[in-house]
C-alpha cells in the first residue's frame, strides 16, 4: 500500500485534522514536473536548443527556489501543528498518570488484603487500561507522522535532485519533543508496571516498592466492626454493592442497619460510592433503600475518571436513575476527565430515551469533548439512527460548525449507515470533502457500502476527483474489489477511463490487486484496453523523439565511475542447515483469530513481541508490533539441528521494557519425527511442512496471563546439490544493474537491430521520467517444455498434469497409488485409445507435440528426462495442493513437502550425474547440460525448492486472480495453453483459494522478490489488458514469463514483446530468446 493511502486508513478519526498533510506536500513536489511558460521547441539536437519540457537554467532555478520555499514553509507549519498537538496530549497523559499512580500508592499502603472483586481496585485498573489506550493512540500518531516526514522528504530529494533529507530530519524533525521516544517509553513502563502491581495486589502479592504490613499484635487485632480499617470497609462496600446488584433486599437492609448502628463521619462518602457503583446495574427498587438513608451525595464524582452518577446512568441507559439524579440537582452539563457530558454517552450507546430526557432538561446539544467529537458524531459513528433524529430535532447541525470539525455525512458514509445518510441529506447536508480530501461517495466506494453508493449517485457529482490523488469513486471501488459498488457507479454513468495523477486508470489498479470481477466489469463498461495496431513496428522501445524527452532524461555531462557488471551464480541455499519458518497469522482468511490472547480484559492495547532463538547463534532477535496488520509476517531461523532448537517469546508494551508475558517453545514442539499422523492431527497446514503450536504465557510471578499460537514450517537441507561451476550440474546465473533512461533506449534499439550478443534473457524496465531502469540478465535461453510432475505413494516422481486420475466412479490422485499401478493404468489407457508409445520419435517431433505426448503417456520423471533431447530445456512444474485445496479436498496419502520435493530433486540430480558421466570429455560443454527451471503454483513448494538447491532457477506461477483450470472429478482434458488442468468441474481452485499470493499479482511479485526467486510465470490476460502491469513486475528485477489462451493471439504476442515480456508459454512450450548481452550494462 502506498503511504498516501496508508496514512489515510491508519488515521485516528478524531485526530484527523492534526496529521501531516502528506498529500498537500506531495502536490507541491509534483508541481516541479510542470514548469510554467514552456514553449514547444522542435529542434532535433540538444546543442541547437532545448527540448520541450526544458527551460533555461536561470528560469528553472527561480522556479525551483520558489517551490522549495513553498514546500519547506508548509513543512515547517505542519511540524509546528503536529508538535503543538502532541505536547497538549502528552501533558494530559502526564497529569493523568501521576494522579493514577498516586491513587495506586495510597491503595497499596492500606492494610488488608484486596480481592479481584474490590470496587476501588477494579476502578483503578480500568483507569490504567483507559490510560494505556490513550497512550497507544498518541504513540501511533507520532509513528505515522514520523514516517510521513521521512517519506515526503525522500520524495522531495528525488524530484528536486537535492540532498536535504538527512540534514532536515536531524536538525528540524528528530529534535522535536513529539519524536522523543524516551518520554512515551517511560510513560508506558510506568503504566504497565502499575497495572501488573494492581493484579498482584488482588492476588495478595505485595509490590517490592510497598512494605508489607507487619503482623498485628494482640492489641492491634481488628474488631469486626472497626470501620476505620480500610480493608474491612472495602469488604463491607463490596458486600453491599453485590447485595444491591443481585436484588438481595434483606442483606441490603441488614448492612445498612449495621452501618447506622456504627455510624462514623465517613459513612456519607461510603454510601455515595456504593450508590455510584450500583446506579448503572441495580434496579430502581434496590437503589431506593440507599436513597432513603439520606446519606447519598448525588453530586459525588469518582476521583479516577471524574464521572458522576449521571454519566454512569447515561452509559447503561438507566432512565429512572437519570430522572432521580436530575431531580436531586445533578447538573446535566457535568463533564468527566475526557470532556464528555452525559449526553455524549447516551448518544454513544444509543439510549434514545436518556438522550431525549437530557435534552428536555436543557442539555447542550453540541458540546465537544477532548477528541473534538459532539454527541451527533458519536451517534453517527455507532449507527444509532433514532439518536441522530432526536439530536437533529433539538438543533444539532448537519454541517461542520468550524474548520477542522468532522463532517457528519462523511462519517455516515464511511461507517456504512444508509439510514443516517438519508436523514442528513434530507436535512440539506452538503456534499463536502473531509480532512483527507475525500467526498462521501469516495468513502462509500472505498468501504464497499453499495446501498450508500446507490443513494449518493442520485445527488452527488459522480466523477469528482479527490483532493490529492485525482481518484474518482470508481478508482476506490475497483482497487478495493467492491464489485457491487462498482456496478452501481458504472450503471449511474461514472466514467471508467479517467486517469489519476500517475496516468493510471481504474482498470490498472483492479488488475494489479487481482480483482478479476472488477476488471471484467470495467472492460464491459468500455474501459480502454491496450490495442496493438496490426502495422505496429516490431521494434521494442524505439528511441523517443527529442520533443518528448523530459529534462530528467538528459544525462549529466560528468562521467560516473565505470560499473563492472557481475554475474550471480545460483542463490543462497541451506547446505547443511535447517530452515524454520514461523508464522503469526496466515496469508488466507481461514484463520482470523489473533495469534496472541491475553486472558481477562485486554490490559495493553498495543504490544511488542520479541522472538529469540536458542541456542544463541548471534542472530538479531525478531521484533514485531502487535496487533498484526493485514500483511502476515514470516520469521526465519537457520539452525544446525532441530533437536536442540527452542524459541523464547517475550511480550512488552510497544515502547516499554516491562515484561508482560513470556512463553517458550521447547525442542519437542519442533520435533515432528517424520510422523505423518502427528501432522494430520493438526489439520491441513499452510505449507505442508510443519505444524501448529499453542504456548501459555507467564508473568514474572509464573501466573498464566495468556496464550500464543503460531504455525511453523521446517525445510530440511537436501544433500545432493552441486555448486561447482563447469561441473556435472550447470548453475544458472543472473546479473541485475540499473541503467539510465537513454542507456535503456540504446539497449532497446540494440535489440531491435538484432545485434549479435550472448544467449541471455533480459528484463528491462522502460520507466518514465528520471527513474532508472533495471536490467536483469540471466542464462536462460532456448525452448523449455513444460513437464508437470507429481509423486506417487512410493515416492516416485511421475509426469501427470491432473489432480485426479480418470477412473470412473473413484476419486484417486497420484499420491494414492504406487508407481507400478500408475504405469499399469497408463498402459491400459494407451490401449483403450489405440495408441502406442514410440519414444524414438521424440527426437523428430516438435516441442509442442512432445509436451502432449509426455502428459498422455503416464511416464516417470526419470524416464522423461532420459528420453527428451538434451538441447531442449525443461520447465519442471511441481504440482502440490495449496492449503485451501487441502482443506476442501481429500489428499489423504500425499507426502509432506520436504519428502515430496526431495524425491523430485533427487531424480533431477541423479539424471544430471548420469548424463554427465556418459558424455565424452570433448562433449562436456555448456551446451551439453540440460537447461532446467522449477516452477509451481504453490508458494510453499517454491520456497522449499529454492532453499534446498542453488543450481536451478525457481519461478512462481500465478493466475493473478483470473480463472484457472479446475479440479478433476473424472475425465482429463487437454488445455490449449499448456497449463495443468482438468475437466468435469466441481469447483474451481480459484473459488477455493484464499492465499492472496495466489490470487493477486501484487502479492505474487512481492512473494517472488522477498524469496529471491528468479521470476514469475503469470497468466497473460491481465497483462495484455493492462500492459503497465508488465512494467511493475519488471521494476522488481524479475524475469517475466506469461501463459494462457491470450498468448494464442498474435497481436497479444506483439504487445507483450513491445512491453518487454521475457518469454511466453504457448502450447506448453516457453521460448527465451537471445536479446540483450552484458555489453549493454
d(CA 310, CA 191): 28
Residue range 591-603: mean pLDDT, rounded:
67
Q: Collapse the DSSP code of 269 into the 3-class scheme (helix H, G, I; strand E, B; otherwise coil) and give the result.
A: helix
Q: Which pTM was predicted?
A: 0.73
Q: Which one, of 742, 758, 773, lies nearest residue 1060 by Cα?
A: 773
The reported pLDDT for the residue numbered 81 is 92
Pairing, β 953-958 against β 932-936: parallel
Residue 579 neighbours by CB distance under 10 Å = 20
What is the CATH code for 782-916+929-964+992-1072? 3.20.20.190
Rg (CA), the chain: 35
Question: Which pLDDT tens digit goes with each residue over 732-766?
Answer: 776 665 544 434 433 333 333 333 333 344 444 44
Residue range 710-725: mean pLDDT, rounded:
78
3-state secondary structure 675-706: CHHHHHHCCCCCCCCEEEEEEEEECCCCCEEE
Question: Which pLDDT tens digit goes with each residue over 691-716?
Answer: 778 899 998 878 888 888 888 889 99
The reported pLDDT for the residue numbered 655 is 67
Which residue ranges make up each domain of the chain?
A: 3-31+64-203, 233-295, 298-396, 398-406+425-529, 576-715, 782-916+929-964+992-1072
- Entry field: residues in the chain: 1081
Question: Which pLDDT tens digit goes with each residue over 980-1019?
Answer: 444 333 344 445 677 888 889 999 999 999 888 999 999 9
The reported pLDDT for the residue numbered 797 is 96
Pairwise pLDDT comparison (110 vs 580), residue with the higher score: 580
Q: What is the average pLDDT score of the chain?
A: 78
- Write the DSSP assignment of 984-1001 as a string of letters: S-SSBHHHH---HHHH-H
Whether residue 449 is predicted with pLDDT greater than 80 in this model: the reply is: yes
The reported pLDDT for the residue numbered 412 is 95
Pairwise pLDDT comparison (407 vs 606), residue with the higher score: 407
d(CA 876, CA 952): 10
Running DSSP on this structure, what letter comes out for residue 173?
Answer: I
Beta strands in 511-606 (DSSP E): 568-569, 578-584, 596-598
**1032 sits in which H/E element:** helix 1028-1035
Whether residue 724 is predicted with pLDDT greater than 70 in this model: the reply is: no
Return the C-alpha cell found at 246: 443481585
Q: Cα–Cα distances in Å, from 1017 out to 832, 950, 1012, 1014, 1038?
A: 35, 20, 15, 10, 10
Q: Cα–Cα distances in Å, from 140 out to 137, 605, 622, 783?
A: 5, 11, 20, 53
The CATH H-level (homologous superfamily) assignment of domain 298-396 is Ankyrin repeat-containing domain (1.25.40.20)
Are 948 and 713 in contact, with CB atoms under 8 Å apart?
no
Pairwise pLDDT comparison (1078 vs 488), residue with the higher score: 488
Question: Which pLDDT tens digit goes with each residue over 567-592?
Answer: 666 667 777 889 898 888 654 444 55
Return the C-alpha cell found at 1061: 515480456
Q: Which one, of 615, 622, 663, lies nearest residue 639 by Cα?
A: 615
Angle between helices 385-393 and 418-426 (to 10 degrees): 20
Question: Which pLDDT tens digit goes with each residue over 797-821?
Answer: 999 998 888 888 788 899 999 999 9
Confidence of residue 548 (pLDDT cuts 50, 70, 90): very low
Whether residue 674 is predicted with pLDDT greater than 70 in this model: the reply is: no
Running DSSP on this structure, what letter comes out for residue 141?
Answer: H
Residue range 636-653: mean pLDDT, rounded:
89
What phi and psi values does residue 62 have, to the nearest 5 degrees?
A: -65, -45
Whether residue 633 is predicted with pLDDT greater than 80 in this model: the reply is: no
Per-residue burial over 517-532, b = 16 or more CB atoms within 10 Å of its CB, e = otherwise: bbbebbeebebeeeeb
Residue range 451-471: mean pLDDT, rounded:
87
d(CA 920, CA 453): 73
> What pairs with residue 860 in β-bridges?
798
Cis bond before residue 958 (omega within 30° of 0): no
Residue range 25-52: mean pLDDT, rounded:
55
Helix H segments across 835-918? 847-856, 861-867, 883-888, 897-918
What is the share, in percent, of the chain residues with pLDDT greater than 70? 75
Q: Which one, of 1058, 1064, 1060, lies nearest residue 1035 by Cα?
A: 1060
Asked: is 576-715 a CATH 2.60.40.150 domain? The reply is: yes
Q: Do domains 398-406+425-529 and 576-715 have the same CATH topology?
A: no
The reported pLDDT for the residue numbered 577 is 87
d(CA 985, CA 279): 63
Beta strands in 145-235 (DSSP E): none
Residue range 627-633: mean pLDDT, rounded:
61
Confidence of residue 862 (pLDDT cuts 50, 70, 90): very high
Residue range 215-239: mean pLDDT, rounded:
49
What is the CATH code for 398-406+425-529? 1.25.40.20
**1051 sits in which H/E element:** helix 1050-1059
**783 sits in which H/E element:** strand 782-791
**Residue that has been written with the C-alpha cell 517458550 in this structure:** 664
Question: Which pLDDT tens digit goes with each residue over 276-323?
Answer: 888 888 888 888 888 888 888 888 888 778 889 999 999 999 999 899
Amino acid at each position: 500500500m502506498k503511504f498516501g493511502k496508508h496514512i489515510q486508513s491508519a488515521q485516528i478519526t478524531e485526530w484527523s485534522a492534526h496529521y501531516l498533510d502528506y498529500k498537500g506536500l506531495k502536490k507541491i513536489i509534483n508541481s516541479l514536473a510542470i514548469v510554467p511558460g514552456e514553449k514547444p521547441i522542435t529542434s532535433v539536437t540538444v546543442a541547437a536548443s532545448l527540448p520541450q519540457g526544458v527551460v533555461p537554467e536561470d528560469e528553472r532555478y527561480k522556479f525551483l527556489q520558489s517551490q522549495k520555499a513553498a514546500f519547506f514553509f508548509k513543512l515547517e507549519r505542519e511540524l509546528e501543528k503536529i508538535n503543538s498537538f502532541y505536547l497538549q496530549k502528552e501533558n494530559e497523559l502526564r497529569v493523568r498518570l501521576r494522579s493514577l499512580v498516586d491513587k495506586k500508592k495510597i491503595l497499596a499502603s492500606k492494610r488488608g488484603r484486596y480481592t479481584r472483586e474490590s470496587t476501588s481496585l477494579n476502578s483503578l485498573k480500568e483507569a490504567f487500561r483507559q490510560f494505556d489506550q490513550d497512550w497507544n493512540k498518541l504513540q501511533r500518531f507520532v509513528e505515522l507522522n514520523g514516517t510521513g516526514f521521512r517519506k515526503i522528504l525522500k520524495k522531495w530529494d528525488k524530484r528536486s535532485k537535492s540532498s536535504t533529507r538527512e540534514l532536515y530530519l536531524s536538525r528540524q524533525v528528530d529534535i522535536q519533543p513529539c519524536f522523543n521516544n524516551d518520554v512515551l517509553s517511560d510513560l508506558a513502563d510506568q503504566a504497565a508496571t502499575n497495572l501488573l502491581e494492581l493484579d498482584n495486589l488482588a492476588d495478595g502479592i505485595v509490590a517490592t516498592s510497598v512494605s508489607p504490613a507487619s503482623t498485628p499484635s494482640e492489641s492491634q487485632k481488628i474488631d469486626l466492626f472497626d470501620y476505620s480499617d480500610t480493608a474491612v470497609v472495602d469488604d463491607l462496600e463490596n458486600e453491599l454493592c453485590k447485595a444491591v446488584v443481585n436484588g438481595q433486599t434483606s442483606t441490603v437492609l441488614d448492612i445498612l442497619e449495621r452501618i447506622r448502628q456504627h455510624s462514623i463521619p465517613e459513612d456519607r462518602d461510603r454510601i455515595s460510592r456504593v450508590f455510584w457503583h450500583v446506579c448503572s446495574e441495580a434496579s430502581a427498587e434496590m437503589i431506593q433503600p440507599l436513597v432513603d438513608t439520606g446519606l447519598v451525595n448525588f453530586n459525588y464524582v469518582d476521583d479516577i475518571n471524574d464521572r458522576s452518577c449521571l454519566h454512569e446512568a447515561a452509559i447503561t441507559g438507566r432512565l429512572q436513575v437519570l430522572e432521580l439524579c436530575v431531580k436531586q440537582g445533578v447538573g446535566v452539563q457535568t463533564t468527566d476527565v475526557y470532556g464528555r457530558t452525559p449526553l455524549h454517552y447516551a448518544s454513544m450507546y444509543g439510549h434514545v430515551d436518556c438522550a431525549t430526557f437530557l435534552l428536555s432538561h436543557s442539555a447542550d446539544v453540541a458540546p465537544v469533548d477532548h477528541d473534538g467529537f459532539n454527541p451527533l458524531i458519536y451517534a453517527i459513528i455507532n449507527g444509532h439512527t433514532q439518536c441522530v433524529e432526536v439530536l437533529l430535532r433539538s438543533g444539532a447541525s448537519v454541517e461542520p460548525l468550524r474548520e477542522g470539525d468532522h463532517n457528519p455525512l462523511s462519517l455516515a458514509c464511511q461507517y456504512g449507515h444508509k439510514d443516517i445518510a438519508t436523514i442528513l441529506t434530507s436535512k440539506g447536508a452538503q456534499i463536502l470533502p473531509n480532512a483527507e480530501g475525500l467526498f462521501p461517495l469516495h468513502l462509500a466506494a472505498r468501504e464497499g457500502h453499495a446501498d450508500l453508493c446507490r443513494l449518493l449517485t442520485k445527488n452527488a457529482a459522480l466523477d469528482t476527483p479527490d483532493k490529492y490523488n485525482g481518484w474518482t469513486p470508481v478508482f476506490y471501488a475497483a482497487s478495493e474489489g467492491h464489485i457491487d459498488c462498482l456496478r452501481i457507479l458504472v450503471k449511474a454513468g461514472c466514467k471508467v477511463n479517467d486517469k489519476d495523477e500517475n496516468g493510471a486508470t481504474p482498470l490498472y489498479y483492479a488488475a494489479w490487486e487481482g480483482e478479476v470481477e472488477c476488471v471484467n466489469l470495467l472492460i464491459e463498461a468500455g474501459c480502454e484496453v491496450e490495442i496493438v495496431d496490426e502495422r505496429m513496428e516490431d521494434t521494442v522501445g524505439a528511441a523517443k523523439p527529442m520533443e518528448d524527452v523530459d529534462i530528467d532524461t538528459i544525462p549529466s555531462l560528468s562521467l560516473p565511475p565505470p560499473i563492472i557488471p557481475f554475474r550471480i551464480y545460483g542463490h543462497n541455499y541451506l547446505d547443511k542447515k535447517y530452515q524454520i519458518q514461523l508464522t503469526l497469522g496466515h496469508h488466507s482468511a481461514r484463520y482470523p483469530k489473533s495469534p496472541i490472547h491475553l486472558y481477562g480484559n485486554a490490559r495493553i492495547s498495543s504490544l511488542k513481541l520479541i522472538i529469540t532463538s536458542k541456542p544463541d547463534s548471534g542472530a538479531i532477535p525478531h521484533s514485531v508490533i502487535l496487533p498484526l496488520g493485514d500483511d502476515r509476517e514470516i520469521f526465519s531461523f537457520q539452525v544446525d539441528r532441530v533437536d536442540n532448537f527452542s524459541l523464547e517469546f517475550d511480550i512488552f508494551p510497544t515502547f516499554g521494557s516491562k515484561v508482560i508475558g513470556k512463553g517458550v517453545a521447547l525442542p519437542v514442539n519442533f520435533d515432528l519425527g517424520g510422523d505423518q499422523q502427528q501432522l494430520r492431527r493438526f489439520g491441513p497446514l499452510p505449507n505442508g511442512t510443519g505444524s501448529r503450536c499453542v504456548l501459555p504465557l507467564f508473568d514474572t510471578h509464573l501466573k498464566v496471563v495468556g496464550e500464543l499460537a503460531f504455525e511453523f514450517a521446517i525445510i530440511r537441507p537436501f544433500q545432493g546439490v552441486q555448486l561447482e561451476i563447469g561441473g556435472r550440474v550447470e548453475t544458472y546465473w543472473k546479473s541485475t544493474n540499473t541503467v539510465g533512461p537513454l542507456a535503456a533506449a540504446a539497449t532497446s534499439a540494440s535489440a531491435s537491430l538484432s545485434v549479435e550478443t550472448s544467449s541471455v534473457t533480459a528484463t528491462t524496465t522502460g520507466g518514465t521520467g528520471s527513474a532508472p531502469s533495471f536490467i536483469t540478465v540471466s542464462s536462460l535461453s532456448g525452448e523449455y517444455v513444460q513437464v508437470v510432475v507429481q509423486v506417487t505413494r512410493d515416492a516416485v516422481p511421475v509426469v501427470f498434469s491432473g489432480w485426479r486420475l480418470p477412473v470412473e466412479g473413484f476419486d484417486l490422485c497420484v499420491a494414492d497409488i504406487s508407481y507400478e499401478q500408475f504405469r499399469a493404468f497408463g498402459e491400459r489407457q494407451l490401449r483403450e485409445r489405440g495408441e502406442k508409445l514410440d519414444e524414438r520419435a521424440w527426437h523428430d517431433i516438435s516441442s509442442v507435440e512432445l509436451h502432449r505426448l509426455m502428459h498422455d503417456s503416464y511416464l516417470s520423471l526419470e524416464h522423461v528426462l532420459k528420453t527428451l533431447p538434451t538441447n531442449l530445456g525443461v520447465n519442471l512444474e511441481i504440482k502440490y495442493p495449496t492449503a485451501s485445496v487441502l482443506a476442501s479436498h481429500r489428499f489423504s496419502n500425499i507426502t509432506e513437502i520436504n519428502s515430496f520435493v526431495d524425491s523430485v530433486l533427487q531424480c533431477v540430480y541423479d539424471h544430471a550425474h548420469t548424463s554427465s558421466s556418459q558424455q565424452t570429455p570433448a562433449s562436456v560443454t555448456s551446451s551439453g547440460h540440460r537447461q532446467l527451471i522449477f516452477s509451481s503454483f504453490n508458494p510453499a513448494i517454491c520456497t522449499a525448492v529454492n532453499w534446498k538447491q542453488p543450481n536451478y532457477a525457481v519461478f512462481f506461477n500465478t493466475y493473478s486472480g483470473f480463472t484457472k483450470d479446475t479440479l478433476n472429478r473424472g475425465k482429463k482434458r487437454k488445455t490449449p495453453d499448456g497449463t495443468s488442468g482438468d475437466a468435469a468441474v466441481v469447483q474451481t481452485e480459484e473459488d477455493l483459494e484464499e492465499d492472496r499470493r495466489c490470487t493477486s499479482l501484487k502479492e505474487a511479485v512481492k512473494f517472488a522478490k522477498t524469496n529471491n526467486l528468479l521470476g514469475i510465470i503469470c497468466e497473460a490476460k491481465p497483462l495484455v489488458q493492462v500492459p503497465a502491469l508488465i512494467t511493475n513486475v519488471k521494476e522488481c528485477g524479475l524475469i517475466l514469463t506469461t501463459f494462457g489462451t491470450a498468448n494464442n493471439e498474435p497481436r497479444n504476442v506483439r504487445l507483450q514483446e513491445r512491453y518487454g515480456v521475457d518469454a511466453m508459454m504457448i502450447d506448453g512450450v516457453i521460448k527465451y530468446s537471445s536479446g540483450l548481452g552484458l555489453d549493454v550494462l
